[in-house]
Structure 1
């Protein structure tokens, strides 16, 4: 089915006015409606796209113009909220950051929900297990002393640089749901939880590193990581996740 987007957004209209060529792109989406389907099914849609469009734009056009029952999460559409993590051509990505020009449109583009979390509908998964692991590592500052009256807690640039990379996490679950261990073991904390523990373990203003290290020294903690680097490759923020997990392992060994 070909879409004629009568209510084209501004960026699409500008592309059209500038003479940029559009293409008919086939999207094959793994659909699942728990009220109707016993198992997920693949449905294909042909969508008119521009190279500068994103996969999220295609999902919008399908939902708005073709099939309003298509369900997916999205919010800011600028790669910050992490809501629209999904598998695109077999890789975990954010739909809002995946440009059509970066995909091989001579072949169908496959879109499905991320793995390892309970499927609720279409591209939507139940994130509760993911956030439960996140909360379990106590991802908040826990100092034992109060700052001086009217003063902030001092931290040098050098001390901040130690954990700067892991402050970039947007909790999209792209890393955790790309991990083979997480797929097969529902108890594993997963990369995102460890990354957020790392952010506070190495914060010079925090005094609860020993508590978090004890939590992650559990059999379902850092030692379940098999260093496959899937998580690092999947992270849309470019966090060196495998390196962060290795640093937490070293911290556990050092005590």
Structure 2
């Protein structure tokens, strides 16, 4: 499900007379304080950009599209992971103040920019790439738009790998090996793709101690997802799928021994 995208605030918009915003940014193990003018329709990304351009050009952060398409601007805003390009200051400022930190559960490159490599390594470990098989199929797969499998895929396919759910996940904090909500959500979309030929390896990859069974169903990923997706339910689907796969393997072994 898509969420309406507000247009980014124009940094040239005249400041609100007499109104200022106190901003604390985590840097080098502590916090550095800044003060910026309040502007109409101001976003968190507008604030960070103004600080970097007007006050401290050494401030590091990441952004690209500014319109909620890429997810690269995600940061922790007053303790909550968010897309900063789509978060209005007026909606989250507390007593005319903001506290900005890098995303949790990821190594910090500098200031507000994190290293996303561990996140994408988990995506790869969960077999997040489509597996077409060794040879093309004899015919096109027919996937009815209203089929249960298609609906399951539709529910999670809009993920853009911004890392917000990963930062919100307490299990990742406790167990750094845990694959995380985004990787498991991706695996679930492929488990429901009848064209994919990598199902056995994928289900095995998401079955171990670092896989879907480690999810505690706190719902943090679903609560924080800016795209209003539900990784928790995708993970629940994987739990059922991996359980069925394990039972089939046990039944097959028992049958071979009995034969």
In structure 2, relative to structure 1, the CA distance for the partners of 1:10 and 1:242 (3 Å cut) is closer
User: Deviations 1:107-140 (Å, cap 9, x if unpaired)?
Assistant: 4211000111112210112211111111112222
1:157 partner SS? coil
2:171 paired residue number: 181
Please give the alpha-carbon distance, in whole angstroms, between the structure 2 residues aligned to 1:222 and 1:25.
Answer: 42
Q: Given the alignment, which residue of 148, 157, 160 partners 1:167?
A: 157
2:77 paired residue number: 88
User: Deviations 1:182-214 (Å, cap 9, x if unpaired)?
Assistant: 112221111111011111111122232222111
Please give the alpha-carbon distance, in whole angstroms, between the structure 1 residues aligned to 2:199 and 2:219.
Answer: 25
Query: What are structure 2's unaligned runs of at least 5 residues?
Result: 1-7, 246-259
Shift of 1:147: 4.6
Please give the alpha-carbon distance, in whole angstroms, between the structure 2 residues aligned to 1:84 and 1:131.
Answer: 16
What are the equivalent positions in structure 2 for 1:1-255 lying under 5 Å apart?
Answer: 11-13=10-12, 15-16=13-14, 23-32=19-28, 40-144=29-133, 146-147=136-137, 153-159=141-147, 160-255=150-245
Shift of 1:31: 1.0
Please give the alpha-carbon distance, in whole angstroms, between the structure 2 residues aligned to 1:174 and 1:21.
Answer: 34
Does the aligned pair in 1 maintain the 2:9–2:46 contact within 8 Å?
no
2:3 paired residue number: none
Per the normalisation by structure 1, the TM-score is 0.85
Instruction: Give the total of aligned pairs.
Output: 235
User: Deviations 1:22-59 (Å, cap 9, x if unpaired)?
Assistant: 73111111012xxxxxxx11011111122411100000
In structure 2, relative to structure 1, the CA distance for the partners of 1:20 and 1:188 (3 Å cut) is same
Please give the alpha-carbon distance, in whole angstroms, between the structure 1 residues aligned to 2:38 and 2:18.
Answer: 5
Per the normalisation by structure 2, the TM-score is 0.84
1:132 partner SS? helix
* RMSD of aligned alpha carbons: 2.1
* Structure 1: 4+ residue segments shifted above 4 A: 19-22
